[in-house]
Amino acid sequence: MDIVNNLLFWLHLVSLALGGVGAFGIPVVGSMMPMASAETRPTLFKAAHGLSRVSRIGLAGLIITGPLLVWLKFGGTAGFTAWFWAKMILVVLLIIVIIWAGMNAKRAEGGDISAAKRAPMIGGLAMLVLLGVVLCAVFAFN
């Protein structure tokens, strides 16, 4: 069973890395938008869409491997501290921010200037929440 748990944990960490691609990469691409020419913007949007797709795959991996690890490795949530529950609250918040970012990105791509101006703030929020998730995980599992 240790091999299964270790492989699940490895998949969980790989999924975290994939999820971080969007949280950290999309704001970088977005910061190039204001200076980009009209011909370059579609390419930047394609890059952002690709990063978003990778990030969603990572998020799906986290949603699958996380509960499996809790069940198989720890036998449930009975012994977890407040750090674990803070992490779970932040995970839910991160999912909400990701959905908001996706809706906002579609508006920005459609030409909504206020959505484009809002994008860096949403990206920064996603980064902070992801960092909070990882911080809480460190305290929850050590």
The whole-number pLDDT of residue 113 equals: 85
pTM: 0.86
pLDDT computed for residue 60 by the predictor: 93
For position 35, what pLDDT does the model report?
85
> Which residues have CB under 8 Å from 108's CB, separation 6+?
33, 115, 116, 118, 119
The pLDDT value given to residue 58: 93
Characterize 38-58 residue by residue with b for buried, 16 or more Cβ atoms within 10 angstroms of its Cβ, and e for exposed: eeeeeebbebbeebbebbbeb
**In 75-112, alpha helices (H):** 82-109
* pLDDT computed for residue 108 by the predictor: 86
The top-scoring range by mean pLDDT among 5-9, 24-28, 50-54 is 5-9
Report d(CA 58, CA 123) in Å as an integer.
Answer: 17
Distance from C-alpha of 128 to C-alpha of 23, rounded to nearest angstrom = 9
pLDDT tens, position by position, 70-112: 999 999 999 899 999 999 999 999 989 988 988 988 898 888 8
Per-residue model confidence (pLDDT) at position 120:
87
Residue 68 vs residue 33, higher pLDDT:
68
